[in-house]
Amino acid sequence: MSLPDLALQIIYGRLAWALVAAAVLLSLLPRFMPARFPVVGRRLIATVVGVMVALMALPGAASPAYSLILVFQYPSGLMLGCCVVSLLARWRGREVRFALRPGLALALAVAGLVLYLDAFGVLSLGLYYGGFGPVAAPLLACLGAAACAVAIVRGQAAGSATALLIGVMLFSLLRLPSGNLWDALIDPLLWAWALGSAIAAAVRWRALRNAIALPPSPQPQPAPERDPELLPVHAAGIDKQL
Amino acid sequence: MGASRPLLQRPASLALFACVLAVAAMTATEAWRWSRAAPPGGMMPAAVDTAVPPTVMLTELSNTLIPMPQGVPSAHASALASLPHGNLISFWWAGSRESGPDVQVYASRWADGKWSDNWVVASRESLGKVLGHGVRRIGNPAAWTAADGTIHLYVVATGMGGWAASRVVQMESRDEGASFQVRRVLPMSPVFNTSVLVRAAPVGLADGGWWLPIYFEIGYKYPMLMSFNAQGVPQRLTRIGARKRSLQPTLVPVSATEVRAWMRDNGADKRVQQAVSRDGGLSWEDLGPSTMSNQGTSLAVLRLSSGSLLMLRNHGTTRETQRSSLSLWLSNDAQNWQPLADIVNGQPGDEFSYPAMFQVGDELHITYTYQRRAIAHHRMKIQLGKDPL
């Protein structure tokens, strides 16, 4: 096993939770306080990120990170990557949607389910232990990074690929957050987010399929509102339009 | 929270350069790590004499209670480790009650035939200060003295929740236990790194490393081990068997490649559970329940230098007597156990539990929880007969 130093973990924990909290807050503010925050401008983004970093940097129990790490330990590198990508997208004035890209969400939901069933003892596969492997795990991380790089350069699923690249880079360069590859790629909060995103995408997909299967109406109907998730240009929750 | 529009609108050449740089940096870093990594191998149990061991007889030399902190009513879960010159150090947790906020891990040194006054080695405040995050509860300690004299202490420290939210903190002391430095929280579970605990003593390996027995506790309960190299760096994490109702493993090598594990039972068998590894701890298979009763209580197994195996366990068979007595059992083949000595016999409802054993020369040291009020210590002379059992 190659594990990160405790000091590095402490810095990562505070910075990562600050960025995750900022990304969550910036996604909630326009939704729940639209009158006060109709648009998320750069000044608001900088303020929220700055305040979160300052809060998390407070000493001891005064820092929210003190309690967040007590309960949740460290966010995965991929979770941090998703949040960084969303913050960058907002900074550039892009539209940001809460749901993860369906393909990524489904992969994370399935992988997380197997990993957690194994961790809870329902299965006996030893999957988590493999994430510490001295050869296979680093090799997988490097191959994953190369695949992400190709996707980014080609402009395919660039948001997801960038988030994933951030996750595996943190693992390979610094062994964050825990020294285990799976901890770099998934955590229970990200898994819940992915599961919700996958279910939402499935519901939308089924609704659209039912709509297509309806017989033609004799009366002209208003055009149904198009679901952005299923449009080619919005097929990726955190990705570029094609 | 994802951007639905292009993230990278810079020139493609810049994205290409950044990606190539990222992948190259990762590859170079991993290659550098591989070049520095120790060659595979090692991590095998220390060599053991597989000849039929001689008969063992025990004579009690002394028994006493380890000095408790003043005004602290509850104590539990002792662990033993060696010190230079044949001395010992004991660790246990004590406080107002189990899981109480004032519970701390204490230590006491055995030297010149007596225990020293105790001192605090870990509290939730001291751990929280160094770890940079909160600790809710302090629990079981386990300890190992490395060949260089460093004492490695593993302490259960919980997150939000009860023991199911446990994590294991690795600490070390280079001054014979006078002070401890926190090294890390050991990563053992993908679920917020929770529900992993220590209880039994580590086992030494041929290369100077050791195995730390651990177990997962929330819902299903299953045993694991984490191996360390001689410097105390974690090397591998392995599940012991596939059974879902066993916990608190105690490990003993019985040959160069075969290792046995005995576990507290959390299922319907009410028997000491067993598992075996025939490849030096890499993989494990369940052996099923032994013939010995276990009403959900912790046990300890030790291989004496003579080769015999000693098991210290509660032998009560009812709920009232499950922890009211402790007895030693002897085996030469890890399968057939014979009663050797009663260590303590109490009344129904008494508690003498969580035993620990350590051999120093021709003396066997035993500690256990005494009525949840203190830690008892027995010292026994080991005498070897000529005839095997």
Averaged confidence pLDDT in chain B: 92
Instruction: Report whether B189 contacts A119 (CB < 8 A).
Output: yes
Question: If you average pLDDT over residues B170-176, what whole number do you get?
Answer: 97
Determine the pLDDT at residue B77. 96
Confirm or reject contact between B36 and chain A (CB < 8 A).
no
Residue B33 inside a domain? The answer is no
Q: Confirm or reject contact between B136 and chain A (CB < 8 A).
A: yes
Interval B348-375 mean pLDDT:
96
C-alpha span between A23 and A97 (Å, rounded):
11
For residue B202, give both structure tokens.
């580590």
pLDDT at residue B40 greater than cutoff 70: no
According to the model, what pLDDT value does residue A96 have? Answer: 87
For residue A55, the model assigns a pLDDT of: 98
Helix, strand or coil, per DSSP, at residue B111: strand
Q: Which residue of A152, A230, A241 to mutate against B (max B Cβ within 10 Å)?
A: A152
Non-local (6+) Cβ contacts of A141 within 8 A are A168, A171, A172, A181, A184, B26, B30
The answer, for A181 touching chain B at a CB cutoff of 8 Å, is: no
Please report whether residue B4 resides in a domain.
no
In the structure, what pLDDT confidence band is assigned to residue B44 with cuts at 50, 70 and 90? confident
- A241 and B CB contact within 8 Å: yes
Number of structural domains chain B divides into: 1
The residue range of the domain holding B300 is: 54-384
Interface of B with A in 305-334 (CB under 8 A): none
Stronger pLDDT, A6 or B206, i.e. the higher one: A6
What's the pLDDT at B5? 47
| CATH number (domain holding residue B367) | 2.120.10.10
Most confidently predicted of A92-101, A206-215, B254-263, B380-389: B254-263
As a whole-number percent, the residues of chain B with pLDDT over 90 amount to: 83
Model ipTM?
0.90
The residue in chain B having the minimum alpha-carbon distance to the alpha carbon of residue A75 is: B192
Residue B48 within any structural domain of the chain: no
- Give tens-digit pLDDT for A94-103: 888 888 999 9
Give the per-residue pLDDT at A50. Answer: 98
Report pLDDT digits (tens) over B279-322.
999 999 999 999 999 999 999 999 999 999 999 999 988 888 89
Handedness of CA A114, A119, A124, A130 (dihedral sign): positive
Determine the Cα–Cα distance for residues A162 and B164; give it in Å rounded to an integer: 36
Task: Please report whether residue B188 resides in a domain.
Answer: yes
pLDDT of residue B168 exceeding 90, the answer is yes
Q: Give the pLDDT score at A76.
A: 98
Whether B147 has its CB under 8 Å from any CB of chain A: the answer is no
- Give residues 9 to 38 of A whose Cβ lies within 8 Å of B: 9-10, 13-14, 23-24, 26-27
Does the pLDDT at position B61 exceed 60? yes
Residuewise pLDDT in 10s, chain A (242 residues): 899 999 999 999 999 999 999 999 999 998 888 888 888 899 999 999 999 999 999 999 999 999 999 999 999 999 999 999 999 999 999 888 888 999 999 999 999 999 999 999 999 999 999 999 999 999 999 999 999 999 999 988 899 999 999 999 999 999 999 999 999 999 999 999 999 999 999 999 999 988 887 766 666 555 554 444 433 333 334 454 33
Contact state of B238 with A182 under an 8 Å Cβ cutoff = no
Least confident of A6-20, A50-64, B28-42, B218-232: B28-42
Residue B25 lies in a domain: no
CA distance A27 to chain B (A): 7
Residue B217 lies in a domain: yes
Q: Is B10 a domain residue?
A: no
Closest Cα partner for B122 from B150, B94, B146?
A: B94
Beta bridge partners of B141: B155
Given a cut of 90, whether residue B3 has pLDDT beyond it is no
- B121: burial class by Cβ within 10 Å (0-12, 13-18, 19+)? buried
Reported as a single tens digit per residue, the pLDDT across A198-238 is 999 999 999 998 888 776 666 655 555 444 443 333 333 44
| pLDDT for residue A241 | 36
